[in-house]
Copies of this chain bind each other. A is one copy, B any other.
């Protein structure tokens, strides 16, 4: 259980890293939205491995296929099933680790929860690979949001302890496709890549922080007191493997500010209400206030490292040493960027549909 997200615009995820496929069923998408496989493919391509960030490479063509819900190029109102077939699955390396849970991975908890019946190959259901489904759902969600002018984007703001400097929205939009790390601070990006390479060279890994931004979000999205926009964004973003923290606007730094400093003063200009600052990250009382929705997620360093680690043998119930072979990213942060966009887009879609802001049929 737990593989569905959303209330009216929902996504149901299925598939495993080394099974037949990874897929998603999107339900609640209004009819009449123009969607092609190319639209989905374009998003999917964003989560391809980044040059220089991987020890060894799993090369998946990852071709998006539409199984249902789209007819003559438009959504029909019926559930949309999308999937990618798994092809380049070399599971041999995982056989040796079947009973040796990798520290920092879900191997141990999955084994315990499912009594050892879980598909352990490549992390199985807990692999980052399942985010291919998230991204495909996000592709649909982004197209739907675009009909009411909402735009979602994400960028890397920290890797391996190297922070990007604050940059204007215009610069962010311009710069994030300038480098493979999707970092708008081009100088920092170069240092980050260097850091990743150094870590990779010694068989270690690094983490980072991704910032997601939604623009043109209308005032009033979010349902108090539990189904807040913040709460549902956080829940969606924490479904991304390796994310261990979520903050909005000033986030944790707000804790050290004075109220007079943290409060965003209201202004009005030509009938439009804005705030002078955006420490609230675009949400007050869990409801969007018309300012950009800003969220940051903490991505832990990839747990799969080549360095020998201390673990246990689940069969023999004793201490063991583990050396992870096979393919793994030294840094997944840039690959998390499109997934953050996807999860934000999917969550926002659910709220705009709930709020009746999108008609049942797109014209």
Contact = CB atoms under 8 A, between A and B. Distances in A.
Interface of A: 1-5, 7-10, 12-16, 19-21, 23, 25, 27-28, 31-32, 66-69, 71, 74-81, 83, 101, 103-106, 108-110, 112-115, 117-119, 124-126, 130, 158, 160-161, 199, 204-209, 219-220, 222-228, 230-232, 234-236, 238-239, 241, 244-252, 254-268, 271, 273, 275-276, 279-281, 283-289, 298-305, 307, 309-312, 317-319, 353-361, 363
Given A31-B114, A286-B238, A363-B115, A2 B301 contact: no
A204 B300 CA distance: 36
A201 B103 CA distance: 50
A154 to B, nearest CB: 15
B209 A252 contact: yes
Minimum-distance CB pairs A-B, first 10: A106-B285, A2-B223, A356-B356, A245-B247, A2-B227, A205-B259, A115-B361, A1-B28, A259-B301, A109-B287
Contacts of A271: 317
Given A223-B2, A246-B234, A106 B287 contact: yes
Contact of A3 (B27, B115, B303): B27
Contact of A258 (B206, B266, B312): B206
20 contacts: A3-B79, A19-B71, A21-B67, A21-B68, A31-B118, A71-B118, A71-B124, A104-B264, A105-B285, A106-B285, A108-B273, A109-B289, A112-B289, A130-B225, A255-B298, A259-B305, A260-B309, A265-B309, A268-B318, A356-B356
A239 B225 contact: yes
B225 A231 contact: no
A161 to B, nearest CB: 4
Contact of A276 (B241, B257, B310): B310
Contacts of A3: 25, 27, 78-79, 223-226
A258 B199 contact: yes
Contacts of A279: 300
Nearest to A29: B1
Given A3-B225, A126-B285, A239-B286, 6 more contacts: A4-B226, A32-B115, A77-B110, A252-B252, A263-B305, A276-B310
Contact of A257 (B112, B232, B283, B301): B301
Contacts of A113: 31, 77, 219-220, 287, 360
A211 to B, nearest CB: 12
Contacts of A228: 2, 235, 238-239
A298 B354 contact: no
Contacts of A13: 79, 225-226
A246 to B, nearest CB: 6
A277 B283 CA distance: 35
A357 B310 CA distance: 31
Contacts of A7: 7-8
Contacts of A268: 312, 317-319
